[in-house]
Amino acid sequence: MSKLRFPKPTGFVAPGFERVLQIFRENYENGMEKGSSFAAYYKGQPVVNLWGGLADWEVKREWKEDTMGLFYSTTKFMAAITIAHLVERNLLTYEEKVSKYWPEFGQNGKENITVEELLAYRAGLSILSNDFYCSWIRDDPQRLHDMLVKQKPLWPPGTAHGYHMYTIGLYLNELVKQVDVKGRTLSKYFDDEIAQPIGIDFYIGVPKSLYYRVARLEPVPVDKVKYMQALASSKGDAQMLQKALYQLKDWSSIRALNNPDFLELPVPSSHGAGTALAVAKLMGILANGGQHEGKTVLSPASILKLQEPLSYGIDLFSGFGDIYGRGSWLIPIVEGEQNWYMYGHAGFGDQMGAADPHYKTGFAYTTNRVDPMLTLVKDRSMNKEDEDEGSLVDDVGVETDDESDVNFDVEEGEVDGLHLDSSDDDESE
């Protein structure tokens, strides 16, 4: 009988951060992890960089230091930073109407939507009226553009907020193309102006030449599915959730990002991949004033703008009580009489990138242990109580398509100083 001993956690922790290593190891020992990485910067210096498990279970490829995780909606914060960078260059103004920069946008009830309302999910554009393909962002941009400008808001813009799961990146990409003097896509602008100057290993759309470094997604046990199902809020709009998940015709399942052709698409809502260390570095720079080795990512004033809450209360899309700023997801922190917002963005499957301005810390986590639970939303949308309450989808005549488909051992690593070394992990018994 053969028994596979999976790669143990490996990496580096600075003195004072040993507890992080302990928790990271425990996640593997109790079976919570398959493959993951966690990294943190404190006061501008890397203090944690850990990785472990397998990046690809089918071929038993180990998660290495340069393995890139799929960050999903954490990519939205990269889009928010891109917009903030353009604002700082006076190419955009948060309070101005989107139609000032993109005249075709100003139709069908979108005439007065401001840039910051769009960023804060207050534009009422959570879904599109018709199905579409992510590939259009590269292969048929005019067709996608025409769909975006013709869309009617689901609710009066500015009066409420609802998460724009995929659409936010599509709209922001077009906005960047309108104002950038070079006409670059959001992905290209981010790479040229932010990622490369500070040397971070993060891509919005992964080049095929780098795909071999990307971790492949794996399913989770049934108990995790039940847990996630329990999180589905009865206050959300089930039909809108269903439509948002199923209207992307080339996103057949959550495993679609395992396809290098699909992952290559520069979609700013979801197609971001990178190392945890890269995301932690960027977040750490923001948490410490925005400068790195003489280069400025954002000014302190611009960073403060990312921490200002604009949307709070019940989200019309998800039903949750999240707080959003100008493209940022805000987490309120209270310690004694002090309070502040940690900011960044979470991604599907517990991915995370965040900055803590109080503790001058940036951190990131990525894992390949996620679940393709799309059908749970579809099942819930058939619930009679949800049907009786009605849906915003009905108000704008959105077409729906109901036929869319959608225990291991780890040994603790030896600590040599504070660097961890992995050893041969395959053994037979």
Q: pLDDT by residue (tens digit) across 160-207?
A: 999 999 999 999 999 999 999 999 999 999 999 999 999 999 999 999
Place 379 in a pLDDT band, splitting at 50, 70 and 90.
very low
Decide which of 393 and 295 is more confident.
295
- Residue 252 pLDDT: 74
Instruction: State which residues form the domain around 91.
Output: 69-272+305-354+368-406
Q: Which residues pair with 267 in a beta bridge?
A: none
- Residue 220 pLDDT: 62
- Residue 391 pLDDT: 56
- CATH code at 258? 3.40.710.10
- The one-character DSSP state at 192 is I
Decide which of 173 and 246 is more confident.
173
Place 223 in a pLDDT band, splitting at 50, 70 and 90.
very low
What's at 100, amino acid-wise?
K
Residue 378 has pLDDT above 70, yes or no: no
3-state helix, strand, coil in the chain (%, to 5): 35, 20, 45
Place 395 in a pLDDT band, splitting at 50, 70 and 90.
low
- Residue 163 pLDDT: 93
Q: What is the pLDDT of residues 36-75, one digit of tens each?
A: 999 999 999 999 999 999 999 989 999 999 999 999 999 9
Q: Report the alpha-carbon angle 179-185-188, nearest 5.
A: 120
Q: Is residue 424 part of a domain?
A: no
Q: Is residue 279 part of a domain?
A: no
Computed over every residue of the chain, the mean pLDDT equals 85
Q: Is residue 103 part of a domain?
A: yes
- Residue 369 pLDDT: 86
Q: What is the Cα–Cα distance from 125 to 247, expressed in whole angstroms? A: 14
Among 138-152, 369-383, 414-428, where is mean pLDDT lowest? 414-428
Q: Is residue 6 part of a domain?
A: no
Q: Strand order in 202-204's β-sheet?
A: 69-70, 272-274, 202-204
Q: What is the pLDDT of residues 272-290, one digit of tens each?
A: 999 999 999 999 999 999 9
Residue 404 has pLDDT above 60, yes or no: no
End-to-end CA, the chain = 6
Number of H helices, E strands in the chain: 17, 18
Among 38-42, 130-134, 213-217, 367-371, where is mean pLDDT lowest? 367-371
Return the beta strands (E) in 282-356 as ranges.
291-292, 295-296, 323-324, 329-335, 338-347, 351-356
Q: What is the pLDDT of residues 322-340, one digit of tens each?
A: 899 999 999 999 999 999 9
Model confidence, pTM: 0.85
Q: What is the pLDDT of residues 116-157, one digit of tens each?
A: 999 999 999 999 999 999 999 999 999 999 999 999 999 999
Q: Which residues pair with 188 in a beta bridge?
A: none
Structure-derived torsion over alpha carbons of residues 339, 340, 346, 352, reported in degrees to the nearest 10: -90
Backbone angles phi, psi at 363, to 5 degrees: -145, 160
Q: What is the pLDDT of residues 309-323, one digit of tens each?
A: 999 998 988 888 889
Q: What is the Cα–Cα distance from 13 to 419, expressed in whole angstroms? A: 7
Place 97 in a pLDDT band, splitting at 50, 70 and 90.
very high
Spell 86-113 as b/e; 16+ CB within 10 A means b: bbbeeebebeebbbebbeebbeebbeeb
Place 219 in a pLDDT band, splitting at 50, 70 and 90.
low
Q: What is the pLDDT of residues 79-89, one digit of tens each?
A: 999 999 999 99
Decide which of 46 and 417 is more confident.
46
The enclosing H or E element of 186 equals helix 186-190
Structural domain tally of the chain?
1
Place 392 in a pLDDT band, splitting at 50, 70 and 90.
low
409 burial (CB, 10 Å; 0-12 / 13-18 / 19+) is middle
Q: What is the Cα–Cα distance from 190 to 194, expressed in whole angstroms? A: 5
Residue 215 Cα distances to 26, 168, 323, angstroms: 21, 25, 30
How is residue 204 written in tokens?
């919005």
Query: Residues 6 or more apart from 343 whose CB is under 8 A from it?
Result: 306, 307, 325, 328, 329, 330, 331, 354, 355, 357
Q: What is the 3-state secondary structure (H, E, C) of 124-153?
A: CCCCCCCCECCCHHHHCHHHHHHHHHHCCC
Contact yes or no for 322/345 (Cβ under 8 A): no
How is 224-252 classified by DSSP, letter by letter?
HHHHHHHH--TTS-HHHHHHHHHSBTT--
Contact yes or no for 355/287 (Cβ under 8 A): yes
Q: Is residue 120 part of a domain?
A: yes
- Residue 422 pLDDT: 40
How is residue 70 written in tokens?
């799929």
